[in-house]
């Protein structure tokens, strides 16, 4: 299924300075770097972007900055979901005003709404924008899983056009929805089944290779196999701890995560470094 939002969408990190304030310059620099290395667009202020520790003003500032400084030809998808429907709608409205190309809206977490509540929630969110809405099914973080028959039901709501599927056990075509891989390890599978692509994290590091997986389908399986060590390293502990560590090792100024997330420890750093060395991105450390 083709999509105007792009195939390789990087769930971009939020860089912080030494005082853990948002680093605007580093964010814009990183967007432009990623655009040169395979990314079709960016999902901003999602879990990789540490949305849980951004206040509303910061969240909106980042979305606005992304829209104003997007690299030519790239798209901006704003993560605007919440377990508070009114807040989700307010954030969606503001992001739409800033000029995003779409919004990502996570299943309401913690309050555990029933199916009727979820339908009502997404009707309100979809009515708050004239842009495509990407549902975000990630039961590992929000407790609730949206089965594929229910996702197909939600697709009947106008402007709900896609799903970021982070439940690999449910990875399959869904009537009425374009499917994006929610996990890097499922990217090749989604491409093979004719899905839209992936909203991925490893493209921060291996964007050129992930672009080749799109453009060179005959090489897709081999490229995917070559990236498995990286995928494992990037998710060996809570996202975005490892990807921030990897980016810092590669000279990108992204800083450390905000509490309650902590930087990678010595053992985690060693695993990440080894994966980068095996990809030829870092010289092996002296013995």
The CATH code of the domain that includes 124 is 3.20.20.70
Residue 260 lies in a domain: no
Given 164, 180, 231, 244, which residue is catalytic?
Answer: 164
Given 136, 162, 180, 231, which residue is catalytic?
Answer: 136
Residue 227 lies in a domain: no
Residue 252 lies in a domain: no
Q: Is the pLDDT of residue 263 over 50?
A: yes
The pLDDT, as a whole number, for residue 71 is 98
Residue 262 lies in a domain: no
Question: Angle between the 241-249 and 203-215 helix axes, to the nearest 10 degrees?
Answer: 90
Does the annotation count 136 as an active-site position? yes
Residue 271 lies in a domain: no
Question: Angle between the 56-68 and 24-35 helix axes, to the nearest 10 degrees?
Answer: 40
- Identify the CA nearest to 6 among candidates 115, 120, 134: 134
Residue 74 lies in a domain: yes
Q: Which 8-state DSSP code applies to residue 174? A: B
pTM exceeding 0.75: yes
The 10 Å CB-count burial string (b at 16+, else e) for 73-98 is ebbbbbbbbbbebeebbbbbebbbeb
Identify the domain containing residue 108 by its residue range. Answer: 8-216
Does the annotation count 162 as an active-site position? no
Q: What is the mean pLDDT of the chain?
A: 97
Cα→Cα distances 238→22, 29, 70, 256, 257, Å: 20, 25, 28, 13, 11
Q: Is the pLDDT of residue 285 over 90?
A: no
Residue 236 lies in a domain: no
The pLDDT, as a whole number, for residue 287 is 62
Cβ pair 207, 10 in contact under 8 A: yes
Domains: count for the chain: 1
pLDDT in tens, 127-185: 999 999 999 999 999 999 999 999 999 999 999 999 999 999 999 999 999 999 999 99
Cα→Cα distances 109→105, 121, 183, 254, Å: 11, 12, 19, 28
Residue 19 lies in a domain: yes
């Amino acid at each position: 299924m083709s999509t105007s939002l792009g195939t390789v969408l990087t769930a971009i990190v939020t860089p912080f300075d030494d005082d853990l304030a948002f680093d605007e310059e580093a964010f814009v620099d990183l967007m432009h770097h990623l655009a040169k290395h395979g990314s079709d667009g960016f999902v901003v202020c999602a879990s990789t972007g540490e949305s849980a520790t951004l206040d509303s003003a910061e969240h909106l500032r980042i979305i606005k900055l992304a829209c104003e400084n997007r690299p030519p030809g790239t798209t901006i998808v704003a993560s605007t979901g919440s377990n508070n429907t009114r807040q989700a709608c307010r954030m969606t409205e503001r992001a739409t005003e800033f000029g995003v190309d779409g919004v990502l809206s996570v299943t309401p977490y913690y309050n555990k709404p029933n199916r009727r509540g979820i339908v009502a929630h997404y009707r309100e969110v979809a009515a708050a924008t004239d842009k495509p809405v990407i549902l975000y099914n990630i039961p590992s973080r929000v407790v609730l899983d949206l089965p594929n028959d229910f996702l197909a039901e939600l697709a009947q709501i106008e402007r709900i056009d896609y799903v970021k599927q982070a439940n690999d056990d449910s990875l399959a075509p869904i009537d009425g929805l374009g499917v994006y891989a929610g996990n890097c390890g499922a990217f090749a599978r989604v491409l093979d089944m004719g899905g839209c692509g992936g909203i991925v994290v490893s493209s921060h590091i291996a964007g050129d290779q992930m672009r080749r997986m799109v453009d060179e389908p005959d090489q897709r399986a081999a490229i995917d196999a070559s990236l498995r060590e990286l995928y494992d390293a990037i998710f060996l502990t809570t996202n975005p701890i490892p990807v921030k560590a990897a980016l810092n090792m590669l000279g990108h100024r992204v800083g450390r995560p905000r509490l309650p997330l902590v930087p990678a420890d010595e053992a985690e750093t060693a695993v990440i470094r080894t994966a980068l060395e095996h990809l030829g991105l870092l010289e092996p450390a002296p013995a």
